[in-house]
Structure formats: structure tokens, C-alpha cells
Amino acid sequence: MTAKRPAETASSPLPPSSIIAHSTSPPTIRRKLNNSLHASIKRGSTEDWDSGDYESQKDNTTEEGEIVESPAAPSSRSDGRRVFHIKGSDGQHGSASTPSSPAQLEQDRVKLSQVVIASGSSTPKALPSSIPIKHHFYGCSFAKVEYDELGKLGEGTFGEVYKARHKRTGRLVALKKILMHNEKEGFPITALREIRILKELSHKNVIPLLEMTIERAVWDKNTKKRGQIYMVTPYMDHDLAGLLENPSVSFSIAQIKCYMLQLLAGTKYLHDNQILHRDMKAANLLIDNEGILKIADFGLARKFEEEPPKFGDEGAGPARREYTNCVVTRWYRPPELLLGERKYTAAIDMWGVGCIFGEMYRHKPILAGTSDMDQLQKIFMLCGSPTQEAMPGWDKLPDAGGLRFPQFPRRLESDFNEIGAVGVALLADMLTLDPRKRITAVNAISHSFFTTKPLPAAPHELPSYVSSHEYDARKLREQRAIRYEPNSRGRQQRWNQGQ
């Protein structure tokens, strides 16, 4: 079964459930990809996988969609190449050959990457010779053959990101290494969902997945190195968090409006296609020196069942089913999640968009709590204490039992008066305590904030900056925090000569 394509996605020859049957993938990596992708291929979707129902998806044994080597391969080809095929639901096989030596890789890679084996299909489908680089998934390649690594861009719980240059084209890309915390459990479910979703999406304000690339394992007498799997995306010069921490960067109101319109356009596209991002924050918004903003890091994203928000509707409506509430970075987490809500909607993303909006003016997070309770207190100090009028049913949420908060007066309008009355109104709509009344992306785009002067700048009118990433800013903060360390005699000595 093939999953439904998003409504606004450009036509593509790649079925969402397809796999590139690629060349000389190491047996260990092929096996891990097989085991983890079985259920996705068989069902045609990973949208039901979440922390609450993952246990039911652990059975990785199925014949359908498995990449296997043809037993007749060695004798069936005169050139000595091995033949692999993918078994479909009809029991038929599509096949692709693999080069027998690394010297043939560059010659055969392009041919092989143009063969798509669709689940349930008995014949390979050839891709067109010209593929728009920003909107199509190429396939799989070898990292050491195709890319020169240039340095580290960031790291997190689910992966590390490196800057690299494509050897043949010179194009800069970002390589996101997928971390295998427990290889016995197979391919990480977060990475599988992220790959799945990114292959389905195509929008100028959403980061595209260009291809997957692998680094082969090395096991010999002198070296023991595990294989690595990377996601390849376009390189972006900055992330918003890095720009906001750069003391030489200041945003004009027209610039903020330009970035906010792009953020809302990308968010609307996700919600129109029933996708929750679930980790909206400044560090996950990438910006290039052409002024284009793209939403990135879909490791926590998933499909939702409710109808997409419609223009003119008040809020995203009621939720139909439960999801895990262990999502969204704390500083951008809405109050309903902090109080244990598991039935939530696209409104949780809009709270994060509101936090980012305020952060663009302050150049720092506006709700930086040190714990969940402190985060709730900071939210209520800004937006006012929860009441049955402001947040109906808050005291009935799973983690609200016994919680009592002082009667904080609402300070949002006075604290952000520098934004102006229209800007504060938009911020207040985004930071509404009641998720059912929180403004949606489709309505926010039409807000009068974007039609009042100064009007939003065009992306190409925005200034360019020296590369700024949150990872670099964090490393600098760590160096400044550890200026001194005790020497052997207990005296303080200078830790960093540059400080």
C-alpha cells in the first residue's frame, strides 16, 4: 500500500514506500535497514508509530520488501556482479545489480540511483534524467566517495550534523549522522519517521532530504569502526538561534516580518498535510544568506488524524487521539503539554512559533524555565494564571492534580509593548493558554501585522552575515564559563588565553 502524498507536493516519480536498491551497501547496514523498514513497507506508512504504540511494531519479520541476493546471481551474469532484488507483496521481484569493485562505483552509481524498486512492483521504474535537486530524493551513496567533510555544525540527542562538500559538483551540504544508541533494536524509529516524512514533503520553507549516504564499517586487525548512516540536506548558512546570539546581528521589523511569514508558510504547509512538527524552536529554523528560512529537524514529527485547520476557524479544534507528551523542547513547550495533556493538535506548534516570534525581538528565549514547574510559572507570570475562562479544564489534566498557582496578573502586552499594538495582538493570539482558541498558521498569515508598515522585506533584500550556528555559540559559552581551573597547588590559572 502506498501512503497518500501531500496535497501541495510537486509530482515525483518516487513512491513514498519505495527503496533505492543500491550498489555495495555493507551486509550489516542492509540487514539493519531491512529489519527496520519491513513494517513500513508492508503497511505503506509509519504514521501510527509513536512511543505509546511502538511495542506493537517491534515484529520485524516479514518477507515483503526484503532486499535479498539472488541465489543465481554469480552464474547468471557474465560481468561478475551480484544481483539484489526487493520482494513485493505480489511475490514478484525487481532487481538491480551492484558493482563488484569500488573502482566501478562512480560509473555505476548514477545508473543504480535511477532505479527505484517500489513495494509490490515487479518492474523497476526509471527516474527522468533531469531531477530538480531541491525536491527529489536521489537514493543512496557512499560518504567517503561523494563528500569531503568540512567540520561539525551541531549535535543533539538523535544525531550529529556536519558540513560537507560534494566532490563532483562542489555543492555544500549538511550530513546528519544517525546515532545508533542501541543497535540491537535496529534502525532508530525517530530517524525512520524523519526520513519518511521528509521524502513526502516539498516546500520552499521546509528543508528537503536530498539523499542518504553511508560510511562502510571497517573490521580488521588494526581498525574496528562501525558503519555510519547519514541524511543529506542542503547546507544553510545559519540557524536562527545562532543569529540571535550573534552580538553583531540586529533584526529590523521588516526582517522579522519576512522571517515570520516564511515560518508561518512552512508551518501551514505541514499542518495542511496533517503533520505535527513537535519541536518548534529557534535552533531548528535554518536560514541562508539569500534570506530563505527553512524548518528542519523532523525527528519528533508525526502525522495527526484531525482535519487540517481551515481559514476562519477559531483554533485547531478538538483532538481525536492520544500521543506522547514527551515532545517539544521545554522553553517552547505549551502549558497543556507541561500539565500532561496527551490529546493535542497543531496548536502545540503554534505556541512554539509564538515563542520564536518574541525571541526575535528580545534576542533570547522569552520563557527559559529551569524545570517543568518553573516553566509553568514563567508562562503564567507572562500570560496570567490559568482559570476556567482562560484555560478551561486545566485542573483536570493528568499532571495538574494538586497544583496551585498564585494569581499572576497578565503582563504580556506591557512586557512586549515595543512590538506595537498589532504585533502584540498577534503574539497574544499565539500564546493563548487555551489550545482550542490559539491562532492557526493559516489565520496568522493573514494577520494585519503583516500589512501594516513597515511591510515585510523580500528575502533577497535581507543582509547576509558570517555563518552563525547555535552549536558554535554554545561552545563559546562553555569556554567562557570555564575560564579558570585549579592547578596542582590549588591556585587559579588561566584556562583560555583568549579570554
Query: pLDDT exceeding 70 applies to what percent of the chain?
Result: 64
pLDDT at 5 over 50: no
Q: Do residues 76 and 70 make contact, with C-beta atoms less than 8 angstroms apart?
A: yes
Nearest C-alpha neighbor of 231 from the set 278, 179, 305: 179
Please give the Cα distance from 62 to 413 (Å, whole number): 57
Least confident of 16-20, 446-450, 456-460: 16-20
Quick one: pLDDT at residue 258? 97
With H, G, I as helix, E, B as strand and everything else as coil, classify residue 424.
helix
Active-site positions read: 279
Least confident of 250-254, 458-462, 465-469: 465-469
pLDDT at 186 over 80: no
Q: Do residues 163 and 153 make contact, with C-beta atoms less than 8 angstroms apart?
A: yes
Tell me the whole-structure pTM to 2 decimals: 0.70
Least confident of 127-136, 279-288, 363-372, 467-476: 127-136
Tell me the mean pLDDT in the region 301-319.
88
387-429 tens-digit pLDDT: 999 999 998 999 988 888 888 999 999 999 989 999 999 999 9
Residue 65: pLDDT band with limits 50, 70, 90: very low
The single residue listed with the C-alpha cell 562512480 is 106
Half-sphere exposure (CA, 13 Å, Cβ side) for 53? 8
Quick one: pLDDT at residue 81? 37
**Pairing state between β 293-295 and 285-287:** antiparallel
Nearest C-alpha neighbor of 356 from the set 254, 291, 427, 423: 427
Quick one: pLDDT at residue 480? 54
pLDDT at 165 over 80: yes
Q: Do residues 481 and 496 make contact, with C-beta atoms less than 8 angstroms apart?
A: no
Quick one: pLDDT at residue 139? 67
Residue 228: pLDDT band with limits 50, 70, 90: confident
Least confident of 11-25, 243-257, 337-351: 11-25
Quick one: pLDDT at residue 70? 41
Nearest C-alpha neighbor of 306 from the set 436, 186, 154: 436
353-388 tens-digit pLDDT: 999 999 999 999 999 999 999 999 999 999 999 999
Higher pLDDT, 160 or 82: 160
Q: Do residues 205 and 262 make contact, with C-beta atoms less than 8 angstroms apart?
A: yes
Quick one: pLDDT at residue 373? 93
Domains and CATH numbers, the chain: 19-234 (3.30.200.20), 238-461 (1.10.510.10)
Please give the Cα distance from 9 to 201 (Å, whole number): 6
Residue 361 phi, psi dihedral angles, 5° rounding: -80, -40
